C-alpha cells in the first residue's frame, strides 16, 4: 500500500502531504452537498460526451446518473461529509472496483483533464479547495494506475494472492 502511494507520487508529481491536504480542512463543510453534486455532474457530462471514443467507452457499462451518484457520494464521504457511499456501496476499495477497467496512464491523463475542467466549471469551488481536490484526484488516479500495473504483473508471474495482497484506499 505504501509502495503504491510512493509510486503514485513519483508518477503524478504530487507529494503525499499535498495529496492528503484534503484532510487538513473539512471540504464538505466548506463547499456543501450541492457543490459536490455539481462537480460530479460537470465531470461525467464531459466524460459521456468525450469525442475520444477510447476513453468514453471505458464508461459504457454505467449510466451517467449512477456514475454521478457513485462519485459525489464517494467525494462527500471522503471530504468529511456523511458516509453516503459506504452506506449504499460498502468500502470504496478503489483498486478492486477499478479492476474491470483499462486504468492506464493515458486514461488517468484524460480523467484528470476532464476533472480539472469540471473543477473550473464549478464556480462555487474556491482556488484553495480546487488545489486540494485536484492534488488528491491526481495522486489517486496514479495510485490506481500503479495498482493496476501491480495486479497485472502479479497475474503474469502466476501470483495467486494471499493475506498480504494489495491494500486498498
Q: Report, in Å, the least distance between residue 101 CB and ligand HEM.
A: 4
Q: Which is nearer to ligand HEM, 101 or 160 (CB)?
A: 101
Is 140 or 162 the residue whose CB approaches ligand HEM more closely? 140
Of 152 and 158, CB closest to ligand HEM:
152
Long-range CB pairs of 32-39 (<8 Å, 24+ gap) are 32/124, 33/76, 33/81, 34/124, 35/122, 35/124, 35/125, 36/72, 36/75, 36/76, 36/79, 36/81, 37/68, 37/72, 38/122, 38/124, 39/72, 39/75, 39/118, 39/119, 39/122, 39/125
The single residue listed with the C-alpha cell 474491470 is 100
Interacting residue ranges for ligand HEM, rule: CB under 6 A: 58-59, 62, 66-67, 70-71, 74, 89, 92, 94, 97-98, 101, 103, 107-108, 111, 137, 140-141, 144
Residue nearest to ligand HEM (CB): 62
Minimum Å gap between C-beta 16 and ligand HEM is 14
Q: Which CB sits closer to ligand HEM, 53 or 162?
A: 53
Amino acid at each position: 500500500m505504501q509502495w503504491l502511494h510512493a509510486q503514485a507520487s513519483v508518477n503524478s508529481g504530487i507529494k503525499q502531504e499535498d495529496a492528503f491536504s484534503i484532510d487538513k480542512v473539512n471540504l464538505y463543510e466548506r463547499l456543501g452537498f450541492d457543490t459536490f453534486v455539481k462537480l460530479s455532474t460537470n465531470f461525467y457530462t464531459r466524460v459521456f460526451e468525450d469525442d475520444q471514443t477510447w476513453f468514453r467507452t471505458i464508461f459504457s457499462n454505467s449510466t451517467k446518473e449512477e456514475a454521478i451518484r457513485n462519485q459525489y457520494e464517494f467525494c462527500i464521504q471522503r471530504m468529511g461529509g456523511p458516509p453516503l457511499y459506504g452506506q449504499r456501496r460498502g468500502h470504496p476499495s478503489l483498486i478492486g472496483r477499478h479492476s474491470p477497467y483499462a486504468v492506464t496512464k493515458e486514461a488517468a491523463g484524460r480523467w484528470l483533464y476532464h476533472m480539472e475542467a469540471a473543477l473550473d466549471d464549478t464556480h462555487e469551488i474556491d482556488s484553495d479547495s480546487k488545489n486540494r481536490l485536484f492534488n488528491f484526484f491526481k495522486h489517486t488516479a496514479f495510485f490506481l494506475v500503479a495498482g493496476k500495473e501491480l495486479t497485472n504483473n502479479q497475474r503474469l508471474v502466476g501470483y495467486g494472492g494471499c493475506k498480504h495482497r494489495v491494500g486498498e484506499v
